[in-house]
Structure 1
Amino acid sequence: MSADPVTAPARNTRPPVAQAALGVGVIVEDGQGRILLGRHHSGTWELPGGKVDATHESIAAAAARELREETGLVVDEASVEIIAMVHDVIGGINRISMAAVVRLASGDPEVTEPHLISAWRWTAPEELPAPLFDPSAQILAAWRPELGITHPPAHMLRITGCGPIGPAV
């Protein structure tokens, strides 16, 4: 028996009560195996990244956009590999950070947001500077657990065997 569309509950059209924040951290590898880290004015080192826009933006699209906005480096969304999901709780809000990897043959990052980042630096993964921004440390630990990176507790779900996923339908 089908429901009357006029009196059917609006359960699927009501937005949920916000209780989570969704972001992406981008591990950018160069042709020498180094990764890109930015020095935040607070003193921490971090990966490029940020929030996923609430505009039907895919994780890969958000990674490419954040990389371009923060460093001036341009990559195609199809070249972004999503490798893990990291989940922790900060201040009663579920923080979901998606880990993305982009490989570049070369690149010269620019400081495009000088009010946030003072410098970008290519760094060997075995020589990470300290302190790392907590979400960046969690993402790097999901990427390379053998590095023994200290980070706050988090649930990690590795994503394997999947390429870029198309837009939401």
Structure 2
Amino acid sequence: MSHKIPESVLVVIHTAGLDVLLLERADRPGFWQSVTGSLDAPDEPLLGTAARELREETGIVADGAAIRLRDWQLSNVYDIYPVWRHRYAPGVTQNTEHVFSVEVPRDIAVTLSPREHLRYVWLPYLEAADRCFSSSNAEAVLQLPQQLKQARPCAAPPVAKKDF
């Protein structure tokens, strides 16, 4: 087993009305979060990681047109919860998390990865922040209204090429 890279993305999924989509972790029932995930390779672009994790965990595709990721240009460094440190190289205790958001229609189809999540819920952003188990996730949700006033959509994420 290779170790996880201690650099990740957090993607806050929301509607125009500031309802936020939260996912309940399969490995920790009762732990609610936004989309999160580590880089697959040290050179994977952050925007690509955000798009990949969004697609893998919810089935939502950031196409760069109707659904566009927003890079908040915000990073959080936090201590990795001890229960998950075994996934990282020995001695790694901190992770750097880069924050993104994506606005979607309220009726968008959500297809969870059953390996990662049990269920999802849409909540007004203040309620969503209260439900997040991670303080950095809760803080990002609370910052959502202000960030949307400042943030600009990103270009379309790079599409992985397949050899046929």
Whichever of the two has the greater Rg, that structure is 1
Give the match for residue 139 of structure 1.
137
Q: Alpha-carbon deviation of 1:142?
A: 3.7
1:80 counterpart (58, 62, 69) = 69
Q: Does 1:164 align with 2:151?
A: no
Q: Does 1:47 align with 2:34?
A: yes
Q: Alpha-carbon deviation of 1:76?
A: 2.4
For 1:21, the aligned partner's letter is P
TM-score (norm 2): 0.67
Q: Alpha-carbon deviation of 1:55?
A: 5.7
Deviations 1:72-123 (A, max 9, x none): 1111257211111111233652210111011113412112x21321111111
Higher helix share: 2
For 2:111, the aligned partner's letter is E
- Aligned equivalents of 2:34 and 2:14: distance in 1? 11
TM-score (norm 1): 0.66
Give the match for residue 52 of structure 2.
65
Calculate percent identity across the aligned residue pairs: 23
Secondary structure (helix, strand or coil) at the match of 2:100 reads strand
Taking a change above 3 Å as real, the CA distance of residues 30 and 70 of structure 1, as seen in their structure-2 partners, is same
- Aligned equivalents of 1:115 and 1:146: distance in 2? 28
> How many residues of Structure 1 are paired with residues of Structure 2 in the alignment?
135
Please list, as runs of the form range in 1=range in 2, the aligned pairs for 1:25-44 lying within 5 A after superposition: 25-41=10-26, 42=28, 43-44=30-31
The alignment yields a C-alpha RMSD, in angstroms, of 3.1
CA contact (8 A) 2:76 2:98 kept: yes
Taking a change above 3 Å as real, the CA distance of residues 146 and 48 of structure 1, as seen in their structure-2 partners, is closer
Secondary structure (helix, strand or coil) at the match of 2:154 reads coil
Structure 2 residue runs of 5 or longer lacking an equivalent are 86-91, 159-164
- Aligned equivalents of 1:93 and 1:49: distance in 2? 17
